[in-house]
A and B are shown apart, each in its own frame.
Chain A
Amino acid sequence: KQEVTQIPAALSVPEGENLVLNCSFTDSAIYNLQWFRQDPGKGLTSLLLIQSSQREQTSGRLNASLDKSSGRSTLYIAASQPGDSATYLCAVFFYNQGGKLIFGQGTELSVKP
C-alpha cells in the first residue's frame, strides 16, 4: 500500500529558528510531491511542487527537497516567524493511482514570538 508519513505530528520552535519538516513515502514511483499549508479552519494552500525529475524547489524562505530513492522529502523554513504557524501537509502523486494524491497526516507548526 502506498503511504505518506509526516514526522513529527507537532513542532514548536522560537521565532527566528530555521527548521525542517519531514515527509516520507513508501514507493519511489512518483510523478510529483506537493507541500501545502493549512491555517486553522481554512483550506489548503499550495506552497511548493517538486516534479519527479527535480531535486528541490524554492519559494522565498521555503525550500523543499526530494530524494525519490530514499522516499523522502523535506521542507526547510528559514528564519521562522509567528505567521508561519500552521499545519503543513505533504502529498504524493504516485504512479498507478489514477490521478489521486496521497496525503500525509500533517505537521502542526507553532512558532513562538
Chain B
Amino acid sequence: NAGVTQTPKFRILKIGQSMTLQCTQDMNHNYMYWYRQDPGMGLKLIYYSVGAGITDKGEVPNGYNVSRSTTEDFPLRLELAAPSQTSVYFCASSYPIGQGFSYEQYFGPGTRLTVT
C-alpha cells in the first residue's frame, strides 16, 4: 500500500489565485481529514469526511472547500488564496481498530503552500 499520498509537495500561489490540493489513500479508510499546521503550532482541522458523499467543517474551514466523491480521494480546494493560508497542509485517513470506536490515523507527507 502507498498509504496516504498528497500532491503537490510544494506550491507558491499569488494572492487571489485558486488551487486544489490532492489527497488519495489506498487503504479503504472511511474517514479522511485535512489539517493545516502553521510554524511552531499544532494541527488545526479544516474539513473532514466520514465517507463518500459526506463532509463536515472542522475548526478552520473558511476559505476552503472539499468534496468526497470516492472513498479514495479527498481534494481540498482553495479559492481566492490569501497570505493567511500560507501553511503546511496535511491529509490523513483513519480506520477503526478493535471492536470499539478507536480510530488510528495515518498522515500524508504534506503540501507546503506559500501565498505571496
Give A contacts to B, CB under 8 Å: 31-32, 34, 36, 41-46, 49, 51-53, 89, 91, 93, 98-101, 103-106
CA separation between A103 and B107, bound complex, in Å? 13
**Could you say which interface size class chain B belongs to?**
20 to 34
Secondary structure call for the A interface: strand
A44-B90, A91-B105, A104-B42 are known contacts; what are 20 more A-B pairs with Cβ within 8 Å?
A31-B101, A32-B97, A32-B103, A34-B105, A43-B107, A43-B110, A44-B43, A44-B107, A45-B107, A46-B106, A51-B100, A89-B43, A93-B101, A93-B103, A98-B50, A99-B31, A99-B94, A101-B33, A101-B103, A106-B42
In the complex, 24 of the A-B residue pairs with CB atoms within 8 angstroms, ordered by the A residue number, are A31-B100, A32-B97, A32-B102, A32-B103, A34-B105, A43-B90, A43-B107, A44-B43, A45-B107, A51-B98, A52-B100, A53-B100, A89-B42, A93-B101, A98-B48, A99-B48, A99-B103, A100-B48, A100-B58, A101-B33, A101-B103, A101-B105, A105-B41, A106-B42
